[in-house]
Every structure is written in structure tokens, then in C-alpha cells.
């Protein structure tokens, strides 16, 4: 899988991984790269008979304090009984390990390997389970933000970084430019009345494991953790269901019903939800264009999916 800012990614070698694991007092038996994730390097690690996951953050992405907030929020969710992998402390008791290799500073965390597999599709069982877990995350995240006096810095949703670069690039296909200009002009204002909290903001089938009964066994990859209106996190998840499922209307309705059994949505959240789903659609498609291999057929599909989202009737 392609990575954002590949020049800032950790180059794994046996020697460099051994140096990180030494801070946990663990030997390295073998390792292999995980296939998922575009932000950071994730490795599956074997140490004697135990299996772990090592994440090394790409440089210039997150401050130490941002990572500590991510880890502390994960611990808060785990303490509430939510299915998250357990972070391992280093020998000095710190879950965030700093490795200095070849004059560069790398931030890393080590966690127990969670059982399960990435689900291949959204079943009703999985959707309902995901919805209840997400609602519980949002309840915890709202309380966490209140206790720690965290506020949202987001006043709106607008994609300009990749669209500006692509529109400035003379190599960008002319057929893509009208779509990119549409995305660049699209803006979702986030009203101050929207409930805010700390949350995942990338909660989909790629970032969780399910067991053989179709239930969520582990929620993974909290790299996008931030304090924002919680409805944004919900909308991003619903976009993935809509984009991945032919008969998505019924599944989305089930999702929303299960979610609201735990955290009922305010009217302002209900009103803005469709616009945020469409925004997420635009952002993901621009990512796809950025990474290349985006054909005219892909554009046609993206436009059809955009129309499908505009016509989506959400039943609360």
C-alpha cells in the first residue's frame, strides 16, 4: 500500500527494530510489514513465542503530546470495556518510546497482537456491533474532552491541500479537473452547537478486526484521534458503508438505530450528517487521484456514488 510522505517513513531493518524492542526488554525473533495504513509504518513482531504490533510514526506527523493523548484516550476506552489492543509500557514505564537512529528521532508504540481478521464486507451483525461500539466511544470521548478541557479547532470541513496541488500539476488529466474544482469548492460549516469529543475519525472495516461470528474483536489504528464534532466521525463511517455496500440504505438505517440506542443524535447532527458523508466521499476520491491509477471508469463510479449519497434518505 502506498504511503503518505514516504520520505518520512521509518526504514525497518533487523538492527533498528532490535534497538526499539530493547527498550521493552524484548528480543526480536522475526517481523513482517502489515499491509494496511497509509500514514505510519506498522510491523508484525514475533518475540520468542509472543506476537506484537509495532507502530513507528512517520516523522513530522504528530508531536509527542499528541501521541500521548491518543494513547491515553485508548486506555480510557479500554478501561470502559471497549475492545482495544493493550499498549505495552517500556522498561521505564512509558508507552511512547523514542528511538534515535542514524541521527533521526522516531516515535514508536508496541501493543499486543489482537485476534481476528479484517472483515471483507459489512454484514448486519457487524454493522450493529460497530454502531454500538462507536456510540460508546463517543460517549467516553465527550466526557474525556470535558474533563480535560479539550475544544474543537475545526469550524468547517474543506479539502484544499491535495486539490490545489493536483490542479496546479500540468500532468493532471483534464477530465479530472471539473471534479477536483467541485471538491475544492465544497465546504461544510460545523456549527458550535454540535456535540464535540475525542474520537477515532477513521472507524471502518479496514481499522478493526472481527471474530468468526461477525462481531468486532478489536478496534485498531487511532492515529487520527482528535477533538471534533462527533457527528463527523459517525459520517465518515457511514460513508464507507455506503461506498462498500450495494443495498446500503437498510444497513445505514440499522446502523443509526443501533447507534442511537446508546447516544441519540441532536437535530443539528441529523441535519448535517448527509453533507459530511458527501465531504468524506470527495476527500477519499481525491486521495485516490493523488496516489494515481484513477481512470475515467473510476471517475464515473465516483460521480455515481456522489449522486447516490445526495439521494440518500437517512432514517433516524
Q: Mean per-residue pLDDT for 124-142?
A: 98
Percent of the chain residues topping a pLDDT of 90: 86
**Helix axis angle, 248-260 relative to 230-244, nearest 10°?**
150
pLDDT (0 to 100) of residue 1: 53
Mention every residue, 6+ apart, whose C-beta is less than 8 A from residue 298: 288
Examine the pLDDT at 5 and tell me if it is beyond 90: no
pLDDT of residue 7: 84
Q: 4-8, 39-43, 295-299: which range is least confident on average? A: 4-8
Which residue ranges does the chain devote to CATH 3.30.200.20? 6-112
Any alpha helices (H) in 122-247, and if so which ranges?
124-147, 161-168, 177-185, 230-244
pLDDT of residue 6: 79
Question: Of residues 133 and 115, which shows the higher confidence score?
Answer: 133
CATH topology of domain 6-112: Phosphorylase Kinase; domain 1 (3.30.200)
Determine the Cα–Cα distance for residues 259 and 255; give it in Å rounded to an integer: 6
Q: For residue 156, which of 195, 198, 186 has the smallest C-alpha distance?
A: 186
61 φ/ψ angles, rounded to the nearest 5 degrees: -95, -55
Complete DSSP assignment for 70-93: HHHHHHHHHHTT---PPBPP-TTS
Instruction: Report the C-alpha dihedral over residues 139, 143, 144, 148, rounded to 10 degrees.
Output: 160
With a cut of 70, say whether residue 98 has pLDDT above it. yes
pLDDT band at 245; cut points 50, 70, 90: confident
Average pLDDT of span 268-296: 94
**Is the pLDDT confidence value at 288 over 80?**
yes
Q: Given this model, what pLDDT does residue 102 score?
A: 80
CATH number for the segment(s) 124-310: 3.90.1200.10
pTM of the model: 0.94
Q: Report the pLDDT averaged over residues 218-223.
A: 95
Residue 4, pLDDT > 70, answer: no
Query: Is the Cβ–Cβ distance between 314 and 265 less than 8 Å?
Result: no
1 versus 39: which is more confidently predicted?
39
Amino acid at each position: 500500500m502506498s504511503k503518505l510522505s514516504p520520505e518520512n517513513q521509518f526504514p525497518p531493518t533487523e538492527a533498528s527494530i532490535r534497538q526499539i524492542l530493547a527498550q521493552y526488554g524484548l528480543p526480536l525473533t522475526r517481523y513482517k510489514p502489515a499491509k494496511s495504513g497509509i500514514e505510519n509504518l506498522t510491523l508484525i513482531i514475533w518475540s520468542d513465542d509472543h506476537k506484537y504490533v509495532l507502530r513507528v510514526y512517520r516523522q513530522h506527523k504528530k508531536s509527542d503530546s499528541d501521541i500521548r493523548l491518543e494513547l491515553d484516550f485508548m486506555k480510557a476506552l479500554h478501561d470502559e470495556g471497549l475492545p482495544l489492543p493493550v499498549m505495552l509500557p517500556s522498561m521505564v514505564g512509558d508507552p511512547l518510546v523514542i528511538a534515535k537512529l542514524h541521527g533521526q528521532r522516531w516515535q514508536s508504540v508496541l501493543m499486543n497482537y489482537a485476534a481476528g481478521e479484517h472483515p471483507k464486507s459489512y454484514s448486519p451483525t457487524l454493522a450493529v456491533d460497530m454502531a454500538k461500539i462507536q456510540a460508546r466511544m463517543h460517549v467516553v470521548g465527550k466526557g474525556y474532552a470535558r474533563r480535560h478541557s479539550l475544544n474543537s479547532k475545526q469550524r468547517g470541513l474543506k479539502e484544499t491541500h491535495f486539490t490545489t496541488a493536483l490542479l496546479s500539476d500540468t500532468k493532471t488529466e483534464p477530465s479530472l479537473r471539473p471534479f477536483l474544482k467541485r471538491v475544492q469548492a465544497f465546504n461544510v460549516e460545523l456549527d458550535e452547537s454540535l456535540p464535540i469529543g475525542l474520537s477515532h475519525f477513521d472507524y471502518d472495516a479496514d481499522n478493526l478486526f472481527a471474530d468468526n461470528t461477525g462481531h468486532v474483536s478489536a478496534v485498531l489504528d487511532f492515529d487520527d484521534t482528535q477533538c471534533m464534532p462527533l457527528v463527523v466521525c459517525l459520517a465518515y463511517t457511514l460513508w464507507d458503508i455506503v461506498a462498500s455496500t450495494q443495498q446500503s440504505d437498510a444497513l445505514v438505517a440499522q446502523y443509526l438505530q443501533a447507534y442511537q440506542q446508546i447516544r441519540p443524535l441532536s437535530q443539528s447532527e441529523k441535519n448535517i450528517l448527509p453533507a459530511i458523508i458527501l465531504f468524506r466521499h470527495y476527500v477519499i476520491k481525491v486521495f485516490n487521484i493523488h496516489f494515481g491509477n484513477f481512470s475515467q471508469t473510476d471517475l464515473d463510479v465516483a460521480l455515481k456514488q456522489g449522486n447516490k449519497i445526495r439521494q440518500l434518505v437517512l432514517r433516524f
